Amino acid sequence: TRVLFRLQEDLSETVRDGSAYYIVYGNKDAGKARQNPENVYLFYDDFSDLNLEKKWQKNWGAIRAENGVLKLRTRRTPTGDNAEISVFVKHGHEWEDIEVELDFNERSTGTEYPGPFLRVQDVRIQSTTAWWFQYKSGSKDCTMRPFNNNMDGSWLYTGTLTKPLSAGTWFHAKYRVAGDRF
């Protein structure tokens, strides 16, 4: 288990590496994580509840939960844009420093560019302002690209997956946003 935390004050230069830090978790009513992860994480969804409106806001596209999986059918937006946010967490705009883990599976056999948007400031179609973690199906290529008022900032930061993103294959992704760093 890894716990991330922020110190309330700067450490002096005399503190050596290997110093111990102690964290006390005081929610006595939380229960065990395996019993109810919603008592442990800021946001958790296993998509066992078919009513998505409790936690999620639909922006566009066909969206449904089925057998514990969120299924999206998006393609182009009604305005003809390729990169827009189709569904988002209702209270996600309140988060600053976060760590996100998700599993995703691109079902299309054509060339697609799936991936989550993080640090979203504007979800409106044709006004999207956020960072897009974009993957390319059939390729190992991935990128983090900024969108500002629906203007694409291009492949600003690139990366390489260990294997190509292929239809029908599940990928596990983990993102950490802390301050101005991803």
CA distances from 126 to 80, 83, 117, 146 (A): 10, 9, 15, 14
Q: Predicted confidence band at 35 (pLDDT cuts at 50, 70, 90)?
A: low
Single pTM value for the model: 0.69
Contact, 156 vs 146, CB < 8 A?
Answer: yes
Q: What is the predicted pLDDT for the residue at 84?
A: 79
**C-alpha–C-alpha distance, residues 14 and 9, integer Å:** 14
- Counting beta carbons within 10 angstroms of the beta carbon of residue 38, is it exposed (0 to 12), middle (13 to 18) or buried (19 or more)? middle
Is a pLDDT exceeding 70 seen at residue 19? Answer: no
Is a pLDDT exceeding 60 seen at residue 108? Answer: yes
Supply the CATH classification number for the domain 42-177. Answer: 2.60.120
Is a pLDDT exceeding 60 seen at residue 90? Answer: yes
**Contacts of 22 by beta carbon, 8 Å cutoff, 6+ apart:** none
What values do phi and psi take at 63, rounded to 5?
-135, 135
Q: What is the predicted pLDDT for the residue at 125?
A: 84
Q: What is the predicted pLDDT for the residue at 140?
A: 93
Q: What is the predicted pLDDT for the residue at 139?
A: 92
Q: Which segments of 9-161 does DSSP mark as H helices, in order?
A: none
CA distances from 26 to 23, 40, 41, 97 (A): 9, 11, 14, 21
Tell me which residue has tokens 């054509």: 110
Q: What is the predicted pLDDT for the residue at 24?
A: 55
pLDDT tens, residue by residue, 40-82:
777 888 888 888 888 888 888 888 888 888 888 877 777 887 6
Q: Predicted confidence band at 95 (pLDDT cuts at 50, 70, 90)?
A: confident
Task: For the chain, give the mean pLDDT.
Answer: 79
pLDDT tens, residue by residue, 133-165:
888 889 999 988 888 898 888 888 888 999 999
Q: What is the predicted pLDDT for the residue at 106?
A: 85
Residues of the chain with CATH 2.60.120: 42-177
Tell me which of 1 and 171 has the higher pLDDT. Answer: 171
Q: What is the predicted pLDDT for the residue at 6?
A: 61
